[in-house]
Structure 1
Amino acid sequence: MISVCLASFNGEKYIKEQIDSILIQLGEDDELIVSDDGSTDKTLEIIREFDDQRIKLYENNKIHGYTHNFENALKHTSGDYIFFSDQDDIWLPNKVEIMLPHLVNDNFVISDGYITNEKLEIISRISSWRAYKKGYFQNLYKSIYAGCTSAFTKKIKEYVLPFPLTKYVQHDTWIGLLCELKFNVIYIEEPLILYRRHKTNTSSAGSKSTKAPFFMFKYRMILFFETLKRWIIRKF
């Protein structure tokens, strides 16, 4: 069984296209878990209009923020294989077919993707901004993980939950780094999504960091201690 986690927030402009591209790749027993973080536009209305039993919608009582909105979706999954999805991208038709066979032995699987503009005109690849290099410290220094390109197993889900409470830890980097420590990371060079760049993006794939050096140092130290703490707790 496949579970897809989608975190939504005021995504009325693009969310229908994204959900369409997901549902066509799912079987009857699979599920799309949508965690909504208090949308005030027509996002919820659009989701309900699908009237599809595979879509399970959870509305947050208070705003969780991007990372913990994904955590809420992840907590509600029941599938053996889990995919992450942003609300404004497009899954290419062979995404599930290509990634699913790699989800053996509890692998964490990521793929390349095409970066596009609002009209889905291809600009470049995610790998041109974030070329994958294997290893914990390599990715602690410069994370290549984009949650929207990732998939993993239920065992990994149980290992990474709960997410740290700190606001400095992003869900995709958190999961990716823990998998570098504990599991096997598989990188697929073929682009499997259209990653749409627009003015209201909440994730950062395809963009360069402009954060101050002190902030980045603090961010990496927090990530280091949080991942090390989880690894030690789960190990012993």
Structure 2
Amino acid sequence: MKDLVSIITPSYNSAEFIEETIHSVFSQTYTNWEWLITDDLSRDNTVEILQKYPDLRIKLKVLKQNGGAGNARNKSLERAQGRYIAFLDSDDLWYPEYLETMINYMQENNAELVYCNYSRCDEYTMQPVLKDFEADTIVTFSNLLKTCRLAPVSTMYDTQRVGKFFFPVKSKREDHVMWLNLLKEIPKGYPIQRTLAKYRMRENSVSRKKKNIIKDQYLVYKDFMGYSTVKSLYYTANWAVNGFLKYSKIFN
């Protein structure tokens, strides 16, 4: 029997895009999944849209208080029963072969964590606006300190090998902290050099606001890694330079 994969999704005011996300999950060639969606008290009709789909594999939880994406992901993780953990935000998309390709690679290569290429797309057209982010490097704790190559939409890990890893709700860079904590426990994550996902680059998303992002990243090292001020500044500078390069890869 194929191993169960748990898809972890936070939703918040996602009515405009979530049906596209739903269709991308239903289109997966790998069908042994459960989809744990935690709605963070949406004010639009996100929940009503989700309730239109009576598939028993969809397990929707609506929070009574807004707590942010990290908290919503944690609520889904608490309920997850699958061997594999995959993350899909409520406005992003997977290609149909995403789950099958990722799981096959992990099983064939005895991998604990894998990540793949993903397209970086316009908010409305979902056409690429930057070159695809390339999964071209084996990820380790050391190189993840300098740049976060792992994105929720394109990364999967094996709980049977590493257990579950939760998101720190007090950090605005919770993804990076979670991946760092995971990479402390395993030697490496492996790249799959295929574009299997689409990331929607939304102008109003927290990750696209630059005003306080440097400070938030500094706190990743200072508060969550426990590094000295000098060491934290060193890694923040590395992260900033690599981040500039990451988002400057426009088409030739």
TM-score w.r.t. the length of structure 2 is 0.77
Equivalent position of 1:231 in the other structure = none
Alpha-carbon shift at residue 147 of structure 1 (Å): 1.1
The letter for the 2-side match of 1:195 is Y
Equivalent position of 1:108 in the other structure = 113
**5+ residue gaps, structure 2:** 228-252
Alpha-carbon shift at residue 213 of structure 1 (Å): 5.1
Whether 1:181 and 2:184 are equivalent positions in the alignment is yes
The letter for the 2-side match of 1:224 is M
Q: Distance in 1 between matches of 2:150 and 2:209?
A: 13
Q: Distance in 1 between matches of 2:142 and 2:75?
A: 28
Relative distance call for 1:210 and 1:40 in structure 2 (3 A) is: closer
Aligned partner (choices 122, 126, 137) of residue 120 of structure 1? 126
Whether 1:87 and 2:87 are equivalent positions in the alignment is no
The letter for the 2-side match of 1:147 is P
Relative distance call for 1:212 and 1:55 in structure 2 (3 A) is: closer
- Tell me, yes or no, if the aligned pair for 1:21 and 1:91 is still in contact at 8 Å: yes
Aligned partner (choices 3, 8, 14) of residue 6 of structure 2? 3
Whether 1:78 and 2:84 are equivalent positions in the alignment is no
Q: How does 1:91-170 map to 2 (within 5 A)?
A: 91-104=94-107, 105=110, 107-117=112-122, 118-127=124-133, 132=137, 134-155=139-160, 158-161=163-166, 163-170=167-174
Q: Distance in 1 between matches of 2:46 and 2:158?
A: 28
Q: Distance in 1 between matches of 2:177 and 2:118?
A: 20
Backbone CA RMSD of aligned residues: 2.6
Q: How does 1:177-216 map to 2 (within 5 A)?
A: 177-183=180-186, 184-202=188-206, 204=207, 211=212, 215-216=216-217
Q: Distance in 2 between matches of 1:3 and 1:198?
A: 25
TM-score w.r.t. the length of structure 1 is 0.82
Runs of 4+ in 1 over 6 A off after TM superposition: none
Q: Distance in 2 between matches of 1:136 and 1:121?
A: 32
Once the two structures are overlaid, the 10-residue window that deviates more, 150-159 or 174-183, is: 150-159
- Tell me, yes or no, if the aligned pair for 2:172 and 2:216 is still in contact at 8 Å: no
Q: Percent identity?
A: 22
Aligned length: 220
Q: Distance in 1 between matches of 2:71 and 2:5?
A: 21
**5+ residue gaps, structure 1:** 227-236
